[in-house]
Amino acid sequence: MTLRVTPAGRLSADQVISVLRAATLAPSTHNTQPWLFTTGAEGIELYADADRVLPIADADRRELLISCGAALFNLRTAIHALGVHPDTTVFPRRDEPDLLAVVRPRTATPVDRRLAELAQAIPRRHTNRTPFGGEPVPPSTVGLLRHAAEAEQAWLPQLDENQLTGLRELVHESHLLQERDPAFGAEWRRWTGRAPTSRDGVPFAAGGSTVADDTWVLRDFGDPAARALAAPPLVVVVGSFGDTPADRLRAGQAMQRVLLTATANGLDASFISQPVEVRATRVRLRHLLGDGLWPQIVLRIGHGSPVARTPRRALADVLLEPPSLTA
């Protein structure tokens, strides 16, 4: 497929390509990359790629929307870093639920230094499943992570010891439930342990490595011994105030802002999604957090060893033609 991109708003064709590349560097469940884009004279549209939903792990498309929200945050931030305001409308057409956002790069804007730092962190952020050292995350950095979530209208609650213990139990419980589900296992195997040539899915090389303690259970992406991980210095939950598609898309943007803030501050992160993927444990986690928030993402944050980047589909494969920007 050829790459046909025209200028969009104030962006040249080359700039459109660079911001789309930034968008596609977002994390996504099992590296499904469930997004599609159109580009036109007015701007860029982001669509959910319904063919890439995970029917077992993500039956209600919650994680698909979170992944696309992360891509949207990258897109907005990359456009901003070029000195252009990314005028964004989410769910612009009621009758088209897969059209998630329209971003119109219309007016020039002074570049915010913090957002420019986050834009630079986009290609450096990778999910890091290696064991994390015990070095604590300074309270000032925790404050930055909390602010990152709040700047995108989400919330990063401070977890006390009891809540952490409860969360850890929920992680173990949901992990076992998923492990015992043959349909989950089949879906899992389809998307993980991929050969290095694959453009999507989680490559074998992205798995973690052995550690002794079994305090937290991570998923096994390659090396089965990697599931048992020592207590990481920081575990956070990104929560949203509602649980509609718009809330989930917003939570994805908040998650990505948290992840990029971690990267910009020299920290590594990975996901512990089992308790939010299993409906029953997600409800209990919501209760554990005081019933005011919908838990969307659980992350461990700390200092890991360097990891390789995961592959992405070619840009031509995520571009829809012809452009349909009319909203």
Where on the chain is the footprint of ligand FMN (CB under 6 A)? 27-31, 63, 66-67, 70, 126-127, 129, 202, 219, 221, 270-273, 310
- Chain position whose Cβ is nearest to ligand FMN: 27
C-beta of 11 vs 66, nearer to ligand FMN: 66
In this structure, are residues 201 and 31 in contact, taking their beta carbons and an 8 Å threshold?
yes
Shortest distance (Å) from residue 129 CB to ligand FMN: 5
- CA-derived radius of gyration, the chain: 19
Shortest distance (Å) from residue 272 CB to ligand FMN: 6
Which two tokens mark 143? 């404050």
C-beta of 143 vs 242, nearer to ligand FMN: 242
Note the residue count of the chain.
327
Shortest distance (Å) from residue 51 CB to ligand FMN: 17
Shortest distance (Å) from residue 115 CB to ligand FMN: 20
In this structure, are residues 191 and 180 in contact, taking their beta carbons and an 8 Å threshold?
no
Secondary structure of residue 47 in the 3-state scheme? strand
Shortest distance (Å) from residue 42 CB to ligand FMN: 28
C-beta of 66 vs 325, nearer to ligand FMN: 66
CA separation for the pair 171, 2 (Å, rounded): 44
Beta strands in 23-83 (DSSP E): 35-39, 44-48
Q: Which residues pair with 99 in a beta bridge?
A: 47
CA separation for the pair 9, 3 (Å, rounded): 19
C-beta of 15 vs 274, nearer to ligand FMN: 274
Shortest distance (Å) from residue 91 CB to ligand FMN: 19
C-beta of 253 vs 270, nearer to ligand FMN: 270
CA separation for the pair 130, 226 (Å, rounded): 8
C-beta of 47 vs 73, nearer to ligand FMN: 73
In this structure, are residues 289 and 6 in contact, taking their beta carbons and an 8 Å threshold?
no
In this structure, are residues 9 and 104 in contact, taking their beta carbons and an 8 Å threshold?
yes
